[in-house]
Structure 1
Amino acid sequence: MNRKFVLSVGLATALTLGSLGSLVLAHDELGSDIIEKGTGPGYEAIESTIEGSESFNWKEVAAVQIQEKDGKLNSTADVYVHKSFAYTGTHTKGGGEGGVRVWDLKDPANPKEVAAFADDIPGTWQEKVIVKRVNTKQFKGDLAVVSVQQLDTHNPDSIGGFLLYDVTNPYQPKKLGFWALDKKVRGTHELYLTVQNGRPLVLTANPYADYYTHGEEKDFQLVDVSNPAEPQTLYQFDPRSLPEVPEDFDGYNWTDKHGKNRAVFNHSTMADVNGTTAYLSFWDLGTIILDINDPENPTFLGRTEFSSNQQGSAHSAALAKGGNVLIETREVYNPTKEGYEQAYGYTRIFDIKDKTKPNLLSEFRTELVDDVQYGLTFANTVHDPKVQGNTLYLSHYGGGVRSVDISDPSNPVEIGKYIPERSNIWGVDVAGDYVYASDMGTGLKVLQQTDGEE
């Protein structure tokens, strides 16, 4: 596999780089190790591209670029499949404002882009979308929640948070409401929609909200959207409630038990199938597990931890084995940070039958993870996980899509690989016999399993 490296506008999410010298972007008054990929003037990140393609046990059924909007071609962000439609978010290329694109998947080999929505807030980008069926007194139908992030918090016309749309007819989405954050907060990064006993709840990850608002708003907020026109915030999680986090915690910097300065912010959220347990990807504080049976009064259950030489970077989570196994992906893209192992981000698998004591079962690394000669690059780190049955699917930027047999979670085995030319895979989702992947540069990919090399 041949690789070359280019300088390009960054990718997606908010992350910690560590000691990068002049590449570190001053994050307003924070000015520490944070870099927000794809935001801020003059920020460039090294990203690898792969010449040619490579796959085994997977074939590409379709590959379709998103349409230009207002004469601009946006980059593609995450993908979510509901019923026979795919929804892809957009990133910052072309100045953002690309909205969510809707794809008709009735013929998976010929997906058709049929609508765009959630593009109505100036100076923002729309990364993440979740769609679920909702039935409340105020709304009955398919509800879409869309993350909204500002390109520049100094733009007086922009604001972050999340949008709510009726996509019961995916060809004609209708705006229902908006949940706004403080203007100083860039926005809601990743989010999740769950339905608990008929009550729809949105779990938000709002990186650095705690820091920028001096604790008035928190990085994790739980919002009732029973009436999508009037979202109601029920709860906010304060890391200071944990015994290992001091009361004078500034909303970002934390010194762990090994004396290392760590980054603490909420990057992603999800819930179990019943909407009773929440999983918060709190970067170097690990994956935090909350009991949300009473959404107004959640309780802390436990969290994952890292070894002293392991960069944290808990990025996203997924569940397996009926909710008894936790998949944690870690987006580490500076593999030579002083004081830590030399490796890009890889996946960790935990037994969480006892959620108060997550037990590490195994770690899954691709061939890219330990290839640190390329230095700073997103291409070699894992990104997002999805699970169907006993198969784990991972989006891996330059590493494409990986499928992993987790029948025995203590011994994960890679069983499939798909790397398109110039791979830059952001997200992955699974529906029926197909896997859907979003490539930042080239749009929507539709994959199907085969019996061998392709």
Structure 2
Amino acid sequence: MDTREDGVTSSRTTRTPRARIRGLGVATAAAGLLVGLLAAGPAAAVPDPGDTPAHGSVSAQEAADARAAVRSGAIPGVDEIVHSDNIKHLANIPKDALRGTNSDLAFQGRYAFAGNYDGFRIFDIGDPTAPKTVAQVLCPGSQNDISVSGNLLFLSTDSSRSDNSCASVSQPATEKSSWEGVKIFDISDITNPEYVAAVETACGSHTHTLVPERRDVYVYVSSYSPNAAFPDCRPPHDGISVIKVPRKAPEKAAIVSFPVLFPGEGPDGGGNPGSPTNPGVSKTTGCHDITVLPAKDLAAGACMGDGIIFDIEDPANPKVIDRVQDNVNFAFWHSATFNQKANKVVFTDELGGGSAATCNEAIGPHRGADGVYDIVGKGDHRKLVFRSYFKIPRHQAKTENCVAHNGSLIPVKGKDLMVQGWYQGGVSVWDFTDSSKPREIAYFERGPISTERLTSGGSWSAYYYNGHIYSNDMAKGFDVLKLDDRRTDPAARIRMDALNVQTQPDYFEDYEDVDD
């Protein structure tokens, strides 16, 4: 038992990789493993430079330091699980047919939808202590960011492919016939998703965000890094693609607009110029991720070198309200999360693109961290005002990729609580009710995959849904966690019928508050 300086009490348990839960149901090949075949699509976009799996050597000294840290107890042993006393590890489902990198998560009813660079997997989480696989869909294309609305499932492809089918292979983005964009599946039969449509988008689809309307679903497509050599991803790429998908006729999905978010006269538009003007900061050539708050007609964009908020009252034509930069500590604006009152935004900095070891003393507490911003003012006069940084208080080994990544609110009235994945930094639960003094209140993590070399792993996404935390570990699989803390217990009463984290709900208006 160890009580940390931050007030989080931890306990340590050891499990070998082979001790993880097994024997969970896998769907048959006919129902669960699907290869969709569509006609070849037209043009190419851009390979993904961010969120890249890391496989690299470290110096002999760094490897020796990692081994010494394990021996001293400063960091957990290889694959050892540690966690605070107020969090429990209920289940782990290792990778199965899909061997690629696990990515994002979405939820609907009793199902969790887990992206993977090789496709996606659907879990029945009706019993969170024993999730069951009901389908696995083979459809390669990084990073397979995933969302669900009604009977439609959306999948982002951000790697240049030979065509828009699920049988495509990698092909250079310089080839005119290559394809990247958004794939759409019908999940009326949850055990056998049907591939029904595809929409090519400029520079691919790194992530996407749903803005659901009654008859249609609008999809905001975030992509970046144009190149003059790519036929359909040439600079300036200073906006987002907007797709309109008719619910009753998804095969008619099409791009309806390309709103420019960073107007300017330069070759890359008017976004952050990056290096050498701002050394170490990414040039803004598009957005990485967008979170919308439909109840407030508001969105926040994490756009490489810029953070923005914008009005989405007209979903096909969003309008920027304010824009901020942090040219000292933010290298890559990665994602955004509103608090429930929509008077704060948490932006993340994915320093190193998710493939670097940044949770250590040398990098410090302000880089590769969260930035907490207050939203002050009203209407079109709202402004983003910086208040503080938050970073997990536990140092990681030089062999562990670790940086701020995807998370969600934990819905407790009067509090601003969030759970978040930090790759091999694990899962962190933190409180930003006081914007200037955020603090961690719970955590879960595994020790390094290796103490000899930098190898990718850890929590890509950690989200709260109907009383539990679900995490998609890039290497180790799907984890289920349970919080037991008076500060977060009230959230268990909120029962939702769906959750796409980038389409942020109004927890206290749209969903039922029930007694456990």
Which residue in 2 is equivalent to 1:274?
295
**Counterparts of 2:373 and 2:82 in 1: how far apart (Å)?**
30
1:117-156 aligned within 5 A: 117=137, 119-120=138-139, 124-133=141-150, 142-150=151-159, 152-154=170-172
Which residue in 2 is equivalent to 1:352?
375
1:199-238 aligned within 5 A: 199-209=216-226, 212=230, 213-215=233-235, 220-226=240-246, 227-238=249-260
Which residue in 1 is equivalent to 2:337?
318
Q: 2:159 corresponds to which letter in structure 1?
A: Q
**Secondary structure in 1 matching 2:179:** coil
Q: 1:445 corresponds to which letter in structure 2?
A: D
Which structure has the highest strand share of the two?
Answer: 1
1:374-453 aligned within 5 A: 374=398, 379-389=401-411, 390-421=416-447, 422=449, 424-450=458-484
**Counterparts of 2:334 and 2:477 in 1: how far apart (Å)?**
22
**Secondary structure in 2 matching 1:274:** helix
**Counterparts of 2:301 and 2:57 in 1: how far apart (Å)?**
26
**Counterparts of 1:76 and 1:228 in 2: how far apart (Å)?**
26
| Residue 406 of structure 1, CA deviation | 2.6
Which residue in 1 is equivalent to 2:110?
84
**Secondary structure in 1 matching 2:393:** coil
User: Do 2:122 and 2:134's aligned partners in 1 also have CA atoms closer than 8 Å?
Assistant: yes
Which residue in 1 is equivalent to 2:196?
176
* TM-superposition CA deviations, 1:420-453 (whole Å, max 9, x none): 344611111211110000011111000001359x
| Higher mean C-alpha deviation, range 104-113 or range 401-410 | 401-410
| Residue 196 of structure 1, CA deviation | 3.7
User: Do 2:146 and 2:155's aligned partners in 1 also have CA atoms closer than 8 Å?
Assistant: yes
Give ranges in structure 2 of 5+ residues lacking alignment: 3-11, 13-43, 67-74, 161-169, 450-456, 487-516
Which structure has the highest helix share of the two?
Answer: 2
Structure with max Cα Rg: 2
Structure 2 length normalisation: TM-score?
Answer: 0.66
Which residue in 2 is equivalent to 1:10?
none
User: Do 1:124 and 1:159's aligned partners in 2 also have CA atoms closer than 8 Å?
Assistant: no
User: Do 1:85 and 1:105's aligned partners in 2 also have CA atoms closer than 8 Å?
Assistant: yes
Decide whether aligned partners of structure 1 residues 189 and 291 sit closer, same or farther in structure 2, where only a CA change above 3 A counts: same
User: Do 1:109 and 1:446's aligned partners in 2 also have CA atoms closer than 8 Å?
Assistant: yes
**Counterparts of 1:350 and 1:58 in 2: how far apart (Å)?**
28
Which residue in 2 is equivalent to 1:5?
none
Decide whether aligned partners of structure 1 residues 399 and 38 sit closer, same or farther in structure 2, where only a CA change above 3 A counts: closer
| Residue 361 of structure 1, CA deviation | 2.3
**Secondary structure in 2 matching 1:229:** helix
**Counterparts of 2:288 and 2:186 in 1: how far apart (Å)?**
26
Structure 1 length normalisation: TM-score?
Answer: 0.75
* TM-superposition CA deviations, 1:159-193 (whole Å, max 9, x none): 211111122332222222111135xx3x2111111
Runs of 4+ deviating beyond 6 Å: 45-49, 250-253
| Residue 397 of structure 1, CA deviation | 0.7
Which residue in 1 is equivalent to 2:184?
164
**Counterparts of 2:410 and 2:57 in 1: how far apart (Å)?**
33
Across the aligned residues of Structure 1 and Structure 2, the Cα RMSD in angstroms comes to 3.6
| Residue 35 of structure 1, CA deviation | 4.1
Decide whether aligned partners of structure 1 residues 259 and 127 sit closer, same or farther in structure 2, where only a CA change above 3 A counts: closer
**Counterparts of 1:256 and 1:238 in 2: how far apart (Å)?**
22
| Residue 126 of structure 1, CA deviation | 4.4
* TM-superposition CA deviations, 1:63-97 (whole Å, max 9, x none): 0113125xxx2331112222111111113xxxxxx
1:331-342 aligned within 5 A: 331-333=350-352
* TM-superposition CA deviations, 1:30-49 (whole Å, max 9, x none): 99xx944548xx97486999
Q: 2:403 corresponds to which letter in structure 1?
A: T
Decide whether aligned partners of structure 1 residues 126 and 171 sit closer, same or farther in structure 2, where only a CA change above 3 A counts: farther
Decide whether aligned partners of structure 1 residues 252 and 325 sit closer, same or farther in structure 2, where only a CA change above 3 A counts: closer
Matched, 1:67 2:96: yes
Aligned length: 388
**Counterparts of 2:309 and 2:445 in 1: how far apart (Å)?**
33
**Counterparts of 2:52 and 2:146 in 1: how far apart (Å)?**
18
Pick aligned residue for 1:365 from 378, 387, 391:
391
**Counterparts of 2:476 and 2:282 in 1: how far apart (Å)?**
35
1:187-202 aligned within 5 A: 187-196=204-213, 198-202=215-219
User: Do 2:345 and 2:373's aligned partners in 1 also have CA atoms closer than 8 Å?
Assistant: yes
Q: 2:149 corresponds to which letter in structure 1?
A: K
